[in-house]
Amino acid sequence: MAIPADQVGGPLSADRPLGLTFGLWDLGAQGEAWHLVWEGTEMEGRAHEFGHLVPVESTVTFQYRHNAYIGVEDTYIARYDSPPANHEDDNHLALKAQDEKAALLWFDVSWLPPEATVETAFLKAQTWTGSGTLQVGAYRILRAWEPKEVTWVEAAAGQPWSAPGCNGVGTDREGTPSAVQVLSAPEALYSWDVTRFVRDWVLHPEANHGVVLKSFDGGTVQYLLRASETGGTSGPRLEVRYHFPTPAPTPTVTPTPTPSATPTVTPTATPSPTPTATPTATSTATAT
């Protein structure tokens, strides 16, 4: 359904709802009741509560239960679990120095069509507990993993990582982080620039395997992050700013004027002058 911009009664903005009413016309009706307009259970009248349109914002937030979104998976893996354990049901994510604990996150971004141009994309996570400083990088995961099965040893049941801990560079994950943040306080929000990842995921959804957060610092510093299903509005989120290309204007065809006929000049006969008789002199008799 398309509505001309000049029909909406004012400027468009991301926070301005537009009233919407549906009608049914009976083209074959003979009486006065030839159309119905639904307003709840009433047949006549118009009410903006029946439906509304909201212009799509240029920034979208992918976060568990934000605008009914549920396309997120997150968990963590721990080096010294014995036996290797899955932490998908834990109420937090964990990060620890010396790559002892790492957090895996995945967001479904298929809502964004391939023609969308991603300007920026930031992964944001909030610390829950922890102290000291911990340098954490965001690495792109290169293979599929199962949230309810992943451990330090396996990406999924019976499918081991190329190197334990999602550490096979070039097979399990990329070797260079897209961004690095230094965690330094509890209940603080941190963000990682993952624009390059998201741009590729929009064009190639099958290549979206998420991000792993890791720290290779020395020491024993550990931070817990709020997880999606228990963190509410403090849970991890992916904020993407994008735009759609401006449609090229349709060229207007300028009609070519039809050449008009050039009038033909008809020659007009020019009358020849009629010769005039010249009188002849007559001799006059002279008297003698």
- Per domain, the residue ranges of the chain are 1-55, 59-243
What pLDDT was estimated at residue 245?
77
Class of domain 59-243: mainly beta
Q: How many Cα neighbours within 13 Å face the side chain of 190?
A: 24
How many Å apart are CA 9 and CA 46, to the nearest integer?
15
CA distance 165 to 266: 101
Pairing between β-strand 59-63 and β-strand 237-243 as defined by DSSP bridges: antiparallel
Q: Is the pTM of this model over 0.75?
A: no
Nearest to 176 by CA among 133, 121, 214: 214
Is 207 in a helix, a strand, or coil? helix
Q: For residue 128, what are its two tokens?
A: 């829950």
Residue 153: strand, helix, or coil: coil
- Show the DSSP H helices in 174-235 as ranges: 195-203, 228-231
pLDDT at site 231: 80
- Cβ pair 8, 1 in contact under 8 A: no
Length of the chain: 288
| Cβ atoms of 95 and 225 closer than 8 Å | yes
Strand spans (E) along the chain: 18-19, 23-25, 35-37, 52-53, 59-63, 72-78, 92-96, 101-107, 117-130, 134-140, 154-156, 159-160, 179-183, 189-193, 211-214, 222-226, 237-243
Positions of the chain with pLDDT lower than 50, given as ranges? 33, 35, 38-50, 52, 54, 276-288
Q: What is the mean pLDDT of the chain?
A: 82
Which 3 state secondary structure label does DSSP give 50? Answer: helix
Residues whose CB is less than 8 angstroms from the CB of residue 199 and which lie 6 or more positions away in sequence, other chains included: 118, 121
- Compute CA 283 distance to the chain's CA centroid, rounded to the nearest angstrom: 123
Q: What does the pLDDT look like over 126-138, one tens digit per residue?
A: 999 999 999 999 9
The pLDDT score that the predictor gives to residue 273 is: 53
